[in-house]
Amino acid sequence: MQPQVTIVIPTHERPQYLARTLKYYAQTDFPVLVVDSSRVASPDAAVLQNGAYRHMPGVPLLEKMRSIMPLVATPFMVFCADDDFTVPRAAQACADFLMANPDHSSAQGHYVMAMPGARGVELTAGYPGNFQVRVDSGDPSVRLRQLFSPYVQNFYAVHRTSTWQAFYALPTEKFSHYCILELLGAMLAAILGKHKVLPLLYSVRDRFLDDDRKNPLRRKNIDVISRDPAHAAEYEDFLASLAGHLCARTGLSPQEARRDIQAAVDLFIEGTLGTSTRKPFHKKIPKYAARFLDALSGGRRKAAMQREQAQLRQQEFERFFSSFDVAAEAELGSIVRSIASSGAHLEKP
């Protein structure tokens, strides 16, 4: 049987992570496409037996990802970050589900977060809200609201290749903020079809690096951009792009479609982003008291609490992971060993 899923890996200046990722996917028959904007080409690209490596020094993220689309020859595809491990068996299960359910545009399973440290790799459940996800209405406008109840982070799901082709047919060059691009992809997928979360281990994410906070284009979220006159043109293009697809799918007028898109964005802002306010002083007293007790105990109290919290996290993770099949344990073990032994977490960002 011909492969049904292509794995696309964008990367930039993280050679150790890329080497680890390529070694992992060398074990699968899926086509693997790598777009690397690093200054120096990766010497590890030679391990790719079924795919392609494209070295594009300094090329922006969207441009390099768009450039790889003509090479995708399978009906389904998945973007994979260079510090993620999308389980091939799970990706195939998602593709099988999508083949059997043409009214769905995307599918994924559950995530495990891995934090390398001096004592090994700590594992926690990723996106526990995914157990509540239901993006299954026959009405695209309703699906947009379901997408944010709770928010489904589906960028790295298995998608129909046609969805990403539609995405790159939009004027994405007008969008500079990552939150706009993330929501554009997520909401377009919801307009085009339903989303399914399957009960399986889908991906393990290495959480050691957190580059998001360092990039100014990632710091502003949609709640700020939607109100800032400096970004009014970008935000209007975002609404118009999605409203056009919603009109085509539903027969709504442009005004009605824009209203439904805006309502979904408002739901995301209210339910996912929320609002943060400064706590009054009396609510900070327990924190200050804990710090005082820590100082009196010479740090022993804090260390004991940290051990207790680590044990609780371990118990919670074991409950979470017990819902997966037997094969998931071996898949997770292989990935954890790769993370622990690669030394990639020692690389300075």
The whole-angstrom separation of Cα 171 and Cα 246 is 16
pLDDT at 277: 44
Per-residue pLDDT for 11 more than 50?
yes
N residues, the chain: 349
Range in 92-101, 177-186, 336-345 the model is least confident about: 336-345
Are 127 and 110 in contact by the 8 Å Cβ rule? The answer is yes
pLDDT of 348 reads: 46
In this model, does residue 165 exceed pLDDT 70? yes
pLDDT digits 0-9 by tens, 138-151 = 999 999 999 999 89
Three-state secondary structure call for residue 219 = helix
pLDDT at position 134 over 70: yes
Task: Report, as an integer, the average pLDDT of 31-52.
Answer: 93
Q: Which two tokens stand for residue 299?
A: 């740090």
DSSP string, 102-116: TTEEEEEEEEEEEEE
Residue 346: pLDDT above 80?
no
- Please, where in the chain does CATH 3.30.160 lie? 1-74
The amino acid sitting at 283 is: K
* 57 vs 37: CA distance, rounded Å: 4
Which residues 6+ apart lie within 8 Å of 344 measured at CB? Answer: 14, 16, 17, 19, 20, 83, 206, 208
> Which of the pair, 213 or 180, is modelled with greater confidence?
180
Q: What is each CA distance from 87 to 30, 78, 102, 286, 319, in whole angstroms?
A: 11, 11, 23, 43, 20
Distance CA 166, CA 177 (A): 19
pLDDT tens-digit profile of 65-82? 999 999 999 999 999 999
pLDDT at 280: 61
pLDDT at 215 over 70: no
pLDDT on residue 133: 86
Structure tokens belonging to residue 44:
């590890």
Burial (Cβ within 10 Å: 0-12, 13-18, ≥19) of residue 202? buried
Expressed in angstroms, the distance from the first to the final Cα of the chain is 41
- What totals of helices (H) and strands (E) does the chain contain, helices first? 13, 9
Q: Indicate the pLDDT class of residue 349, thresholds 50, 70 and 90.
A: very low
What CATH class is the domain 1-74?
Answer: alpha beta
- The residue among 108, 77, 21, 46 whose CA lies nearest residue 335 is 21
Rounded CA gap, 111 and 151, in Å?
15
d(CA 211, CA 209): 6
Mean pLDDT of the chain: 88
Residue 129 has pLDDT above 90, yes or no: no
- Amino acid sitting at position 328: A
For residues 65-77, b (16+ Cβ closer than 10 Å) or e, as one string? bbebbeebeebbb
**How high is the pLDDT of residue 290?**
62
Which is higher by pLDDT, 309 or 23? 23
Prior bond of 88 cis (ω within 30°)? no
